[in-house]
Structure 1
Amino acid sequence: MEKIAPTAAELEVLNILWKTEPLTVKEIHKLICKTKDVGYTTTLKIMQKMTAKGLLRREPNGKSHLYFSNYEKEETRGRLLDRFVDSAFGGSASSLVMQLLGNKKTSKEELDEIKQIIEQMENKSSLK
């Protein structure tokens, strides 16, 4: 299994690309600057590292380059979550869920949605 291990800054770039790709460094930098003050060269360097790691690919587009994510959003989130559950909760999904529900005020709607997901999972496993 290939490792997908983006840093927080890299994940920010990926989240932007997942919404609208492809984009140039300039476009991504402009979007990042809506929430924080970051230099253009910092954004460029992050994206160059991401390309070297295989998280992004770039294609020439006139004088600039267009950047694309190499991994789907759900695949990346899934692998990050797996790594987090393994390292922080000893691989126990139930420990993660109990900690999450115990730390955060969960709305009735969210609880209903969680129950529905559990029921769907139970139905799938009973079909096997």
Structure 2
Amino acid sequence: MKIYVTSIFVDDQDKAEKFYTETLGFKVKHNIALGANRWLTVVSEEDPEGTELLLESSDHPSVGPYKAALFADNIAAHSFQVQDLDAEWKKLTERGVKFVTEPLDAGSVRMGVFDDTCGNLIQLIEMKKAT
């Protein structure tokens, strides 16, 4: 068994599509109209057959308070792994991404957290090399 799709609630699917593709560098895998919303998934260009991230509309009434509570408590909605956190941080800050936690050591990982502009905080993780 493996995870093939996971979702993140976004305030606006069009805005999220632009941010996740143009700013973060993911590519659209599925874009299927479903009434007022879409089945909109993105994947890593490095692993196009890998896990899909569903940019899911925040329409359900329980989503707003949930997202607001996570954001207010500085809790990341998702965690993405990178090979070089400092290089990714530099690239993303140059693209205007706002980090709420700059890269720091956290046990066996290095991490940083940014605002995805769609109502979520996203954690970037770099696994430390064993010494």
Q: Normalising by structure 2, report the TM-score.
A: 0.28
Larger Rg: 1
Structure with greater proportional strand content? 2
